[in-house]
Chain A
Amino acid sequence: MAVVFTMAASLVYVRGRFWLVELSYKLTETRQIYSRLEQERQSLEVELATLRSPKRMEAISKQRLGLRADAAPRVVTVQQ
């Protein structure tokens, strides 16, 4: 009885150990995916910042769209 119990306990332990190792590999894999996605996010953030830089936006507005700077105030106070 004791032998059976010991063997069962050992099997449970070994199975648990395998499961743990399996999870560790999955974790490593997930970590790699996370790193790649994080890297992609950062890369997109940089790209967005570059594309939206005021200097570039102004150049496109003027050269491609033919817009001109308008410094007139957006808010006009009407005299009471």
Chain B
Amino acid sequence: MTGSRDPSRTRLIVCAFSLVVAFAGLGARAVDLHLFPDERVVSRKARQEEKKLILSPRRGALYDAKGRVMATSMPTPSVYADPSRVSNAALTAKKLGRLLSEQPEKLRKKLAASDRRFVWIARRVDPAIGKKIEQLKLEGIKVSTEWARLYPLKEAAAQVIGAVGDGDKGIEGIERYYDHLLRNDDSVVRAERDGRGRAIFAREVRQLEPEPGGDLYLTIDTVLQHLVEKEISASMEQSGSLSATGVLMNPQSGEVLALATLPRVNPNRLADTDVAKWRNRAVEEVFEPGSTFKIITIAGALESGALTADERVLCKKGSLRVGGRTIVTEKEHEWLNAEGILKYSDNIGAARVALSLGKERMFEWIKKFGFGEKTGVGTPSEVSGLLSRPSKWKDLDLANHGYGQGIGVTAIQMARAVSIVANGGRSVRPYIVDRAEFRDGSQVVIRPTETHRRVLSEKTAARLTSWLESVTEPGGSGSLAAPPSYRVAGKTGTAQKIDSSTGSYSHQRVVSSFVGFAPVSDPKLVFFVAFNEPKKADFGGMLAAPVFRNVMESALSYLGVPADRVAARVSSASVLPQESDLEPVPQLTGVPDLRGLTVREVLREARRLALSVNVIGTGVAVRQSPSPGEEASARSRLDVVFSEESPI
């Protein structure tokens, strides 16, 4: 059968053939690309298909010794612009200005820089404002997320913690010193993307959350920090001092529990703060210690045999001529032993002890107590103080060193030196960061692990403790340092400062300080406090000693340390009633039978009946005087004997 071919059928065949050829060609090319990949094609495919995400990890947080947050990071919106894509700069600036509380003109200038592709409009803004700006969908305006560092305790320990600058980098304090542990590098994650540009995380799923930096656990206790700052701040204001410093540490371990520098700064307002106020004065400021340094002079002389405990030193009634100069003090003691030199803070006595010790040995003991070198407490910019070689000393320098003039120390060095006496003679290294903890559970231990070197014999340490306790007793130069409940030991200091205009010591410009420890029976805390250039009450015993008393009393109570002052054990304790607390007073007809009751129960009963109780022993009450039923007036005193073994 012949006939003309259907033209539509022919076209269909041609089309089908063409399609088969085309698909065959594509298939062949696909096979070719799979088997023999072309690098240019592969890289182009990767560019089109892959999405690169830069993930900034969270900076590690700072916690205090009890796990309270001191610093943390929060994702916060930041607004930026691509001026080349902003069509109406004036209108955009007006809309943004309203939300950001900024001058529209200032913003307009930024947006008008059409030659630039990127300009920050506002960084780390309130999340609600960031959201509103996003919702406006302004041309050329974008909102990204940046980490913002927050310090919830504001000024507390600000100079210790420090601050973070742009790029999430620590610029001051612990934030700077431990930046390498706190901060982790940005990580890049590659993901496939769909037609709308959304990421498809088929690979590298584990890397979706970047590894945050380590969290640091400090030895600072924020309650103690607040206590120290509050007490120092009040006295600084009253005395009109330029600045003040306080260091509270554990003399047994070297843990720094509070480190205060005043005036204070707020790390949340970095831009508004005077740079000079950021100095951590406790480790960066050098001052002449004055009489507090007599502890080191006497300790060195005792330990090296240059002075015996009972030996009397001629104090020349307040005047001593050394190297052609006369050292004069207001004290007029003829003879004093070591205890007397400390108790009455006699400069002539201390100078004579230093002279008997000699330059080399004095230098050696100053070094043994850790002066002239950094403590390694773990903050940036720590200084080692000022200590010249003994070969450069004249006799006058040696005598001056004896009572803490002519030498430069830091507050943390003084606290460490006195810790040696407090803990029975061992050197400890102060530290402020205990450890870093990471998300994977690993830890970096920062606390010192070295064994404590012995500096003083236990006997010398005990003697010094006893003598320093006498300083705080009535008649001593530091009697205002003694709290009612704890036995304390310490030393006052009032050091003259060099007047830069005359080059000699000024009588008006001084550093008033006190350093000591408590409780004497088992020292738990060492506290050093210094006021720079007070205008009023400039003697250490008048200004710094009361601060020491208040801090020690409250801090030891907060730590649950038992009182060790005998007189305070019951009569001054808060467990006993105050007159004003006890209204109305019950009228007693006879003393109740307290036998068989515990100490707590007896005290509760006594409080109810307005009786003053003298507690003798522990356990349960076995005897009492007056006896049960005997007549006693309200507020009369009752002796109760307790025993661990019940007589019943």
Whether the pair B562, A53 counts as a contact (CB closer than 8 A) is no
Q: Does B642 contact A (CB under 8 A)?
A: yes
A-side contacts of B230, CB under 8 Å: 55, 58
Cβ-closest chain B residue relative to A53: B153
Whether, in the assembled complex, A75 has its beta carbon less than 8 Å from a beta carbon of chain B, the answer is: yes
The docked-state distance in angstroms from the alpha carbon of A54 to that of B367 is 39
- A42 on interface, CB distance cutoff 8 Å: yes
Give the residues in chain B near A58, CB-CB below 8 Å.
Answer: 226, 230
At the interface, yes or no: B86 with Cβ under 8 Å from chain A? no
CB of B550 within 8 A of CB of A71, answer yes
Contacts of B153 in A (CB 8 A): 49-50, 53-55
0 or 1 for each of A5-46: is its CB under 8 Å from B? (1 = yes): 000000000000000110011011001001100010011011
For residue B200, CB closer than 8 A to chain A, the reply is: yes
Cα(A29)–Cα(B90), bound, Å: 37
Taken together as a complex, chains A and B put the C-alpha atoms of A76 and B568 apart, in Å, by 9
Q: Which residue of A lies closest to B200 (CB)?
A: A24
User: Are B75 and A76 in contact, with the CB atoms below 8 A?
Assistant: no
Complex Cα gap A49–B575 (Å): 32
- Whether A49 contacts B68 by the Cβ 8 Å rule is yes
Contacts of B569 in A (CB 8 A): 76-79
Interface string of B572-585 (1 = CB under 8 A from A): 11110000000000
Asked whether B201 is an interface residue with its Cβ less than 8 Å from the other chain, the reply is yes
Tell me the bound Cα distance from A74 to B485 in angstroms: 11
User: Is B199 located at the chain interface by the 8 A CB criterion?
Assistant: yes
Q: Report Cα–Cα, A54/B196, bound state, in Å.
A: 51
**Neighbouring B residues of A52 by C-beta, 8 Å:** 68
- Closest-by-CB residue of B relative to A48 is B69
A73 to B361, CA, bound (A): 42
Q: Closest CB-CB distance, A40 to chain B, in whole Å? A: 10
Q: Which residues of chain B are within 8 angstroms of A69 by Cβ–Cβ distance?
A: 554
**A63 contacts B by Cβ under 8 Å:** no
- Contacting residues, chain A, for B562 (C-beta < 8 A): 73, 75-77
| Chain A neighbourhood of B73, CB < 8 A | 42
- Cα distance A8–B595 in the bound complex, in angstroms: 94
Whether B69 lies near A76 (C-beta < 8 A) is no
Please measure, in the bound complex, the distance between the C-alpha atom of A61 and the C-alpha atom of B37, giving whole angstroms. 75
Q: Bound complex: CA of A50 vs CA of B566, how far in Å? A: 40
**Cβ-defined contact, B563 with A76, below 8 A:** yes
In the bound complex, do residue A46 and residue B74 qualify as a contact, i.e. CB atoms below 8 Å apart? yes
In the assembled complex, the Cα of A29 lies from the Cα of B406 at a distance in Å of 68
Contact of B208 among A21, A31, A47, A50 (CB under 8 A): A31
B95-103, B427-435, B611-619: which one contacts chain A?
B611-619
In the complex, B211 has a CB within 8 A of chain A: no
Across the interface, do B74 and A72 meet the contact criterion of CB distance under 8 Å? no
Interface residues of B in 250-293 (CB under 8 A from A): none
A54–B220 Cα distance when bound, in Å, is: 13
Docked pose: A78 CA to B486 CA in angstroms: 14
Q: Could you tell me which residues of chain B, from 545 to 561, have a CB within 8 Å of some CB in chain A?
A: 550, 553-554, 556-557, 560-561
Extra inter-chain contacts (12) besides given A53-B222, A55-B226, CB under 8 Å: A24-B200, A34-B209, A42-B74, A46-B69, A46-B74, A49-B153, A54-B222, A54-B226, A71-B483, A77-B562, A78-B599, A80-B618
25 pairs of residues in contact across A and B, judged by CB atoms under 8 Å? A21-B200, A27-B201, A27-B208, A31-B208, A31-B209, A45-B72, A46-B150, A46-B152, A49-B70, A49-B72, A53-B153, A54-B153, A55-B226, A71-B485, A71-B553, A72-B485, A72-B574, A73-B563, A73-B568, A75-B560, A77-B563, A77-B564, A78-B618, A79-B616, A79-B617
Binding site for B on A (CB under 8 A): 20-21, 24-25, 27-28, 31, 34-35, 39, 42-43, 45-50, 52-55, 58, 69-80
Which 7 A-B residue pairs are closest in the complex by CB-CB distance?
A72-B574, A49-B152, A54-B226, A49-B69, A75-B562, A73-B563, A24-B200
